[in-house]
Structure 1
Amino acid sequence: MASGDQSLGSSSDEENFRRILFTIDSHLGGQEVESLKFLCLDLVSKKKLEKCSSALDIFELLLTYKLLQEEDPFVLAELLYITKQIKLLQHLRYTKEEVERLLPERRKVPLFRKMLYELAEAIDTDTLKSMTFLLRDSMPRTEMNSLHLLEHLEKRDDIHEDNLTYLEDLCKKVAPSLMRIIEKYKNEKDKQTESLHEGEEELVSQSDIKRFVGALQEANVYRMDRKHRGRCVIVNNEIFTTYLSDRRGTQRDAEYLKLVFQWLGFKVHKCDNKTKEDLEALLQEEKHHPDHDDGDCFVFCVLTHGIFGAVYSSDGVLIPIREIVSHFTAKQCPGLAGKPKLFFIQACQGKEIQSSAPIEADAVNPECVPPSLQDSIPVEADFLLGLATVPGYASLRHVENGSWYIQSLCNHLKALVPRHEDILSILTAVNNDVSRQADKSGRMRQMPQPAFTLRKRLVFPVPQEEPSF
């Protein structure tokens, strides 16, 4: 029997691989499909998972996310192993022993998710009734199985991988025997952490001393040498289906952003006129995108109407900026952990117009002073939020030439990246440029504002080609 690390066949055998998946699907019933959906919650979009009614639907989703491939079907072998479908492993040319040997290095399903699944399998009917009785006041009035119960507790943030107190208390009250599964998870997690540390120590001890010193000198700069520079998403809302006016000139901004970030090496995805539902689907897709693993950075731009701390979707729904940004924390998007995440928002943050005359700090409506912009970014490292204007004020956009902020941002990226300037220096130059601009009457001005939790300097590598735009 071939090793599980080997390819199932040549690239021309995709049809044969799909036949294998079809055969595996024929052995899986509704209960197994629910189990697979639960185990994949950290791997793909939850909204897309909810639409899956068969194992084939799940396989198609894993193929789309490139988690499952003909030459590397291990993620499916892992799922079959966890759900105890051991006989089906033979269709993927794996044995139970091979999966167990490869799991420590190739695991895709988080240990926490695996532990929750094992708990759900161990919760019998009487235990489930007891748990739902104790939690009745906080549970939805619908019939649910053990998987749904644990998913609900996770959604409410009562349980997560670093805080099991709520879950432990519940198990101790209802079924103390379940504690062995939780203890097993803790031990596995400790071993995983120790293994990582051991690998780090070995790497340092064997490294060349000169390269080590050089690395120390570069330690204050984010790494920019991975396989991909990263993804840049541009949400451009021009046409609104509600009372909000259309945003003429925004296409000029969107195209300029696209050209600049493509020049910087990003894979750019531009999308227009996103409703709230569209935006939520986009965020789910992006936070699970496989390219993040091999990328250096992530950029997310929103061009739309807004008020302080929130932006409008094309169907007129207010979406907090913090809600957008929170999809890309280390917990939600492990592929971006430790990497810089940049968010640029071209939207009003209020209705006030900044005067060209000197004003004092209390010029913002004193009866409604907005909270700190820092509240819009997570309390964790490696985030930058660039707003077109300070809280409480409008941002300005020319109906033909685009917005002051985005045009200045793109101009300064073009001019200063080749001079090895870091992103905060570039944004300082943007602030200076935009603050000096005024409308024809000289009465309207604007001052952008960044907030950040970056730990290092972010310096984009200089592109080999001169910008042709």
Structure 2
Amino acid sequence: MKSQGSSSDKNCKVSFRKKLLIIDSNLEVKDVERLKFLCIGLVPNKKLEKSSSASDVFEHLLAEDLLSEGDSFFLAELLYIIRQKKLLQYLDYTKEKVEQLLPIKGKISLFRNLLYELSQSIDSENLKEMIFLLNDSLPKTEMTSLSFLALLEKQDKIDEDNLTCLEDLCKVVVPKLLRNIEKYKREKQEESCQNKYARSNEILRGVFQWLGFTVHIYNDVTKVEMEKVLQKQKSNPAHADGDCFVFCILTHGEYGAVYSSDEALIPIREITSHFTALQCPGLAEKPKLFFIQACQGEKIQPSKSIEADALNPEQAPTSLQDSIPVEADFLLGLATVPGYVSFRHVEEGSWYIQSLCNHLKVLVPRQEDILSILTAVNDDVSRRVDKQGTKKQMPQPAFTLRKKLVFPVPLDALSL
């Protein structure tokens, strides 16, 4: 029985390798170069440099446990990216199946994808011009767009956090490619948010459950899904028995708006307007609080020494009132003032959410009202700086509350 099992395993492996050879025979030299480029960072560079065929690349993927007869998705991902979708059939995949699994199993980084996309849009004339602009620092060898970008990366001229050199080249030679770079930056920020907001989600859930709220969490919300959430919440029958409504959004954004997971820009006013007395009678005359952890622009607030009576003539006062309905009982708390970025700690979560939750835990038992708590949050966050001591953040609230809002003190307040 053992020998039969061993024979069966060998036949399976031979059959799988036959499929790999069929795929290899259908790929051209340019496809091999693309495969090698996409595998940078996942397969040692020395191995990739010595690879002259697709089968060589496949051997390295097998050796690095990136490919096996039991899991061939990574190769399917590579074939999908280089637009060899017909070859997916040999791995028992379809284009639709790969697209479905990419968000879950995809291994190619956003940065690698960006460079590959750019390479496909840089023609031979564009490449000559880019090489000319960087001529002094490049070897006198023939290059393709892929090898050119790989060289920039190897020379540390570009990396996933520094695309200045590439942006400068695109501005001069192919301005339309700046859109790809901007899209990459948004996606990278979104990916970062998904990873790092997990801690903030956990903190928010714990604190607001402690305060007696029923908490619902929605992750990776698209624009369509956001509208469904807003419709569901504004017609929630539980509002009739509730005393207060809190809506928190953790994402990235621009002035007066936030991004959904599918990159749609949603005005904050569009969100808050769902909860006016006319739209949501169940919350009429009840406080409605919106806390938004999101950038409101791309500027960075510099760390400066405090100077009494100092004014910045370039900074006109900015109001958030346009983001809340013109009626009573609304409060909007933004992580940063309009036009600027917000920051987060890798392990502890966003500065704003962390400070908000900490001050709620400390000041609610002292029966401080929400505006006093947010004032303390402003003071706390404004005093924080990054590790280099060069970046700061200043939250900003706007409100039409008619009365002081004081949360009931939880019975187990002393346990926090």
Give TM class, smaller chain: 0.5 to 0.7
Instruction: Determine if contact 1:264/1:460 at 8 Å carries over to the other structure.
Output: yes
Residue 441 of structure 1 and its aligned partner are, at CA, apart by: 1.1
What CA distance in whole angstroms lies between the structure 2 residues aligned with 1:317 and 1:378?
22
What CA distance in whole angstroms lies between the structure 2 residues aligned with 1:242 and 1:404?
21
What is the DSSP-based 3-state SS (H/G/I as helix, E as strand, rest coil) of the residue aligned with 1:415? helix
Instruction: Determine if contact 1:303/1:345 at 8 Å carries over to the other structure.
Output: yes
Deviation by residue 1:160-217 (Cα, 9 ceiling, x = unmatched): xxxxxxxxxxxxxxxxxxxxxxxxxxxxxxxxxxxxxxxxxxxxxxxxxxxxxxxxxx
1:401 paired residue number: 348
What CA distance in whole angstroms lies between the structure 1 residues aligned with 2:317 and 2:253?
14
1:411 paired residue number: 358
2:215 paired residue number: 268
1:442 paired residue number: 389
Is 1:391 the counterpart of 2:342? The answer is: no
Instruction: Indicate how the Cα distance of structure 1 residues 321 and 370 shifts in structure 2: closer, same or farther if over 3 A, else same.
Output: farther
What CA distance in whole angstroms lies between the structure 1 residues aligned with 2:224 and 2:368?
38
Aligned with residue 254 of structure 1, among 201, 205, 214: 201
Instruction: Indicate how the Cα distance of structure 1 residues 454 and 242 shifts in structure 2: closer, same or farther if over 3 A, else same.
Output: same
What CA distance in whole angstroms lies between the structure 2 residues aligned with 1:347 and 1:431?
15
1:98 paired residue number: none
Residue 350 of structure 1 and its aligned partner are, at CA, apart by: 0.8
Instruction: Determine if contact 1:308/1:370 at 8 Å carries over to the other structure.
Output: no
Instruction: Determine if contact 1:414/1:467 at 8 Å carries over to the other structure.
Output: no
What CA distance in whole angstroms lies between the structure 2 residues aligned with 1:379 and 1:361?
30
Aligned with residue 283 of structure 1, among 224, 230, 234: 230
2:285 paired residue number: 338
2:373 paired residue number: 426
What CA distance in whole angstroms lies between the structure 2 residues aligned with 1:261 and 1:398?
21
Residue 453 of structure 1 and its aligned partner are, at CA, apart by: 0.1
Indicate the larger mover: 430-439 or 370-379: 370-379
User: Which amino acid in the other structure matches residue 291 of structure 1?
Assistant: A
Residue 417 of structure 1 and its aligned partner are, at CA, apart by: 0.3
Deviation by residue 1:340-395 (Cα, 9 ceiling, x = unmatched): 0000000001111111115865476x6xx685211100110000000000111100
What CA distance in whole angstroms lies between the structure 1 residues aligned with 2:203 and 2:415?
12
What CA distance in whole angstroms lies between the structure 1 residues aligned with 2:246 and 2:257?
18
What CA distance in whole angstroms lies between the structure 1 residues aligned with 2:393 and 2:371?
19
What CA distance in whole angstroms lies between the structure 1 residues aligned with 2:198 and 2:313?
33
Instruction: Determine if contact 2:365/2:413 at 8 Å carries over to the other structure.
Output: no
1:374 paired residue number: 321
Please list, as runs of the form range in 1=range in 2, the aligned pairs for 1:300-339 lying within 5 A after superposition: 300-339=247-286
2:404 paired residue number: 457
User: Which amino acid in the other structure matches residue 363 of structure 2?
Assistant: L
What is the DSSP-based 3-state SS (H/G/I as helix, E as strand, rest coil) of the residue aligned with 1:272? coil
Instruction: Indicate how the Cα distance of structure 1 residues 442 and 350 shifts in structure 2: closer, same or farther if over 3 A, else same.
Output: same
User: Which amino acid in the other structure matches residue 299 of structure 1?
Assistant: V
TM-score where L is the length of structure 1:
0.47
User: Which amino acid in the other structure matches residue 432 of structure 1?
Assistant: D
Instruction: Determine if contact 1:338/1:381 at 8 Å carries over to the other structure.
Output: yes
Instruction: Indicate how the Cα distance of structure 1 residues 283 and 412 shifts in structure 2: closer, same or farther if over 3 A, else same.
Output: same
Residue 241 of structure 1 and its aligned partner are, at CA, apart by: 9.5
Unmatched tracts of structure 2, length 5 or more: 1-184
Aligned with residue 292 of structure 1, among 229, 239, 243: 239
2:130 paired residue number: none
Residue 244 of structure 1 and its aligned partner are, at CA, apart by: 4.5
What CA distance in whole angstroms lies between the structure 1 residues aligned with 2:188 and 2:263?
8
What is the DSSP-based 3-state SS (H/G/I as helix, E as strand, rest coil) of the residue aligned with 1:250? helix
What CA distance in whole angstroms lies between the structure 1 residues aligned with 2:341 and 2:311?
16
What is the DSSP-based 3-state SS (H/G/I as helix, E as strand, rest coil) of the residue aligned with 1:267? coil
Residue 468 of structure 1 and its aligned partner are, at CA, apart by: 4.8
Instruction: Determine if contact 2:200/2:349 at 8 Å carries over to the other structure.
Output: yes
Deviation by residue 1:135-169 (Cα, 9 ceiling, x = unmatched): xxxxxxxxxxxxxxxxxxxxxxxxxxxxxxxxxxx
Residue 306 of structure 1 and its aligned partner are, at CA, apart by: 0.6
The ranges of structure 1 where at least 4 consecutive aligned residues each deviate by more than 6 angstroms after the TM superposition are: none
Paired positions, count: 228
Instruction: Indicate how the Cα distance of structure 1 residues 244 and 432 shifts in structure 2: closer, same or farther if over 3 A, else same.
Output: closer
